[in-house]
């Protein structure tokens, strides 16, 4: 699969490393060159320094068939805008936005934007641990 | 003035601040939402209860601001992603106020409209339109000296290639009443013009003009 990851933070970088290890074609984009330090030395994918909201930085990757795009910068609103714009302009298999605000994440699901909410996931895990204790 | 409206403005930067003041002066009810506490404290002397601190792209803050009874919500922050989410959340969660977004990058305008924002305003686009208008109206008159309390001016115009008077002699031109050419600067040379003087592109023309004839002169050039 060809996967684009926008935002090479703590989660984005690990996801990139894992997918790369599994043999997928991975493109990682971040505004900050330093962020790529988080990638493993063995990482064989492409690194792009740029702003995920600016067409020029995503077009070269997305104009060729891409299966999944993850918008996972540290800003919810940036991720939501990237996801919505990319969905309108390109034909991708899947577009996923990481949204930390639980209410926003739910709201945009109603709008047809696929969201993942780390806050909800952590809470779910914690609740489970409490129940098991 | 029409009926009194309730308007929520997100972002108390220059745009949000002036818009808020103007709307209050016009008798409307306003709530200004600003993320930066220092700004809120500073502006609370002017806005009193009409300003609050918070992230305007969250449901809680918008609810607290009374967006449910708002007629209009205007997102004026400097970040397009925030303005988009503010408008979308307002549309989805509340009783459908009219949404207006400031677009910082003019290329986002179409996207905003496509994603349900009712109206978007791009400063860059407005300024460009004004400049284009000015350029179309002819070469710009640069005032050098104002006489008689501003009723008479000495102005300078640099002629572009497309100027109407390029390759024409003064004797063939009909100057607007109340204006006269006093010098032509061509490179290092200063020419005192007379009937046979022919204008060239990049000439700097110095003219004496009455305020009332300025528009006519601009149009001629």
**Distance (Å) from the alpha carbon of B148 to chain A's nearest alpha carbon:** 53
Interchain CB contact of B84 with A (< 8 Å): yes
Q: How far is CA A19 from CA A2, A82, A95, in A?
A: 10, 21, 16
Q: Tens of pLDDT along B65-77? A: 999 999 999 999 9
Considering the domain A2-132 in this protein, what is its CATH number? Answer: 3.40.50.720
With beta carbons under 8 A apart, name residues in chain B contacting A81. Answer: 80-81, 84-85
Whether B81 sits inside 8 A of A53 (CB atoms) is yes
Whether A81 sits inside 8 A of B81 (CB atoms) is yes
Whether A55 sits inside 8 A of B114 (CB atoms) is no
Q: Tens of pLDDT along B115-138? A: 989 998 887 777 777 666 665 555
The residue ranges of every structural domain in chain B are: 6-129, 138-220
Mean pLDDT of chain A: 95
Closest CB to B89 among A81, A84, A107:
A107
H-helix or E-strand spanning residue B6: strand B6-10
Residue A5 is predicted with a pLDDT of: 98
**Distance (Å) from the alpha carbon of A22 to chain B's nearest alpha carbon:** 33
**Could you identify the residue written with the tokens 């320094």?**
A49
Q: Which fold has domain B138-220?
A: Alpha-Beta Plaits (3.30.70)
Residue A27 has pLDDT above 90, yes or no: yes
CA pair distance B25, B20, nearest whole angstrom: 9
DSSP B40-92: HHHHHHHHGGGEEES-TTSHHHHHHTTGGG-SEEEE--S-HHHHHHHHHHHHH
Residue B2 is predicted with a pLDDT of: 67
With beta carbons under 8 A apart, name residues in chain B contacting A103. Answer: 58-60
Residue B133 is predicted with a pLDDT of: 62
Interchain CB contact of B77 with A (< 8 Å): no
CA pair distance B31, A35, nearest whole angstrom: 39
With beta carbons under 8 A apart, name residues in chain A contacting B90. Answer: none
Instruction: At A96, list the tokens.
Output: 């996923």
Q: Tens of pLDDT along B133-182? A: 665 555 566 767 777 676 888 888 888 877 888 888 888 888 888 888 88
Interchain CB contact of B63 with A (< 8 Å): no
Whether A77 sits inside 8 A of B92 (CB atoms) is no
With beta carbons under 8 A apart, name residues in chain B contacting A53. Answer: 80-81
Whether A77 sits inside 8 A of B82 (CB atoms) is yes
Residue B115 is predicted with a pLDDT of: 92
Whether A80 sits inside 8 A of B60 (CB atoms) is no
Mean pLDDT lowest among A46-55, A65-74, B166-175: B166-175
* CA-CA-CA-CA dihedral for B17, B18, B21, B27, to nearest 10: -130
Whether B111 sits inside 8 A of A84 (CB atoms) is yes
Report long-range pairs for A79-83 (Cβ below 8 Å, ≥24 apart).
Answer: A79/A6, A79/A7, A80/A104, A80/A108, A80/A113, A80/A115, A80/B81, A80/B84, A80/B85, A80/B88, A81/A53, A81/B80, A81/B81, A81/B84, A81/B85, A82/A6, A82/A52, A82/A53, A82/A58, A83/A113, A83/A114
With beta carbons under 8 A apart, name residues in chain A contacting B112. Answer: none
Residue B95 is predicted with a pLDDT of: 83
Question: What's the rounded mean pLDDT across residues A89-113?
Answer: 94
Residue A90 is predicted with a pLDDT of: 94
CATH architecture of the domain formed by B6-129: 3-Layer(aba) Sandwich (3.40)
With beta carbons under 8 A apart, name residues in chain A contacting B62. Answer: none
- Residues of A contacting chain B (CB within 8 angstroms): 53, 55, 75-78, 80-81, 84-85, 88, 101, 103-104, 107-108, 110-111
The verdict on ipTM greater than 0.90 is no
Strand A2-6 and strand A46-49: the pairing is unpaired
Residue A31 or B194, more confident: A31
């Amino acid at each position: 699969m060809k996967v684009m990851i926008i935002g090479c933070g703590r989660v984005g970088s690990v996801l990139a490393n894992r997918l790369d290890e599994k043999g997928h074609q991975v493109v990682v984009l971040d505004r900050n060159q330093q962020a790529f330090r988080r990638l493993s030395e063995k990482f064989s994918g492409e690194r792009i320094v740029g702003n995920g909201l600016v067409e020029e930085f995503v077009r070269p990757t997305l104009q060729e068939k891409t299966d999944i795009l993850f918008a996972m910068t540290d800003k919810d609103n940036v991720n939501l805008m990237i996801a919505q714009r990319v969905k309108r302009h390109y034909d991708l298999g899947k577009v996923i936005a990481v949204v930390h605000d639980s209410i926003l994440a739910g709201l945009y699901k109603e709008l047809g934007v696929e969201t993942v909410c780390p806050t909800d996931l952590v809470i779910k895990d914690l609740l489970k641990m409490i129940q098991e204790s | 003035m029409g009926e009194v409206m309730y308007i929520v403005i997100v972002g108390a930067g220059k745009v949000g601040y002036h818009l808020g003041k103007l709307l209050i002066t016009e008798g409307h009810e306003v709530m200004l939402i600003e993320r930066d506490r220092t700004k809120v404290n500073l502006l609370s002397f002017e806005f009193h209860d009409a300003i609050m601190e918070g992230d305007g792209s969250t449901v809680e803050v918008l609810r607290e601001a009374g967006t449910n009874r708002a007629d209009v919500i205007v997102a004026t922050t400097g970040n397009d992603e925030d303005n988009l989410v503010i408008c979308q959340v307002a549309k989805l969660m509340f009783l459908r106020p009219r949404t207006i977004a400031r677009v910082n990058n003019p290329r986002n305008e179409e996207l905003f409209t496509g994603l349900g924002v009712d109206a978007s305003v791009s400063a860059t686009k407005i300024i460009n339109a004004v400049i284009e208008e000015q350029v179309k109206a002819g070469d710009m008159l640069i005032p050098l000296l104002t006489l008689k309390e501003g009723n008479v001016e000495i102005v300078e115009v640099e002629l572009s290639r497309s100027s109407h008077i390029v390759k024409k002699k003064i004797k063939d031109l009909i100057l607007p009443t109340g204006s006269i050419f006093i010098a032509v600067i061509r490179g290092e040379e200063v020419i005192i013009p007379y009937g046979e003087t022919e204008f060239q592109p990049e000439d700097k023309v110095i003219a004496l003009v009455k305020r009332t004839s300025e528009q006519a002169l601009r149009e001629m050039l």
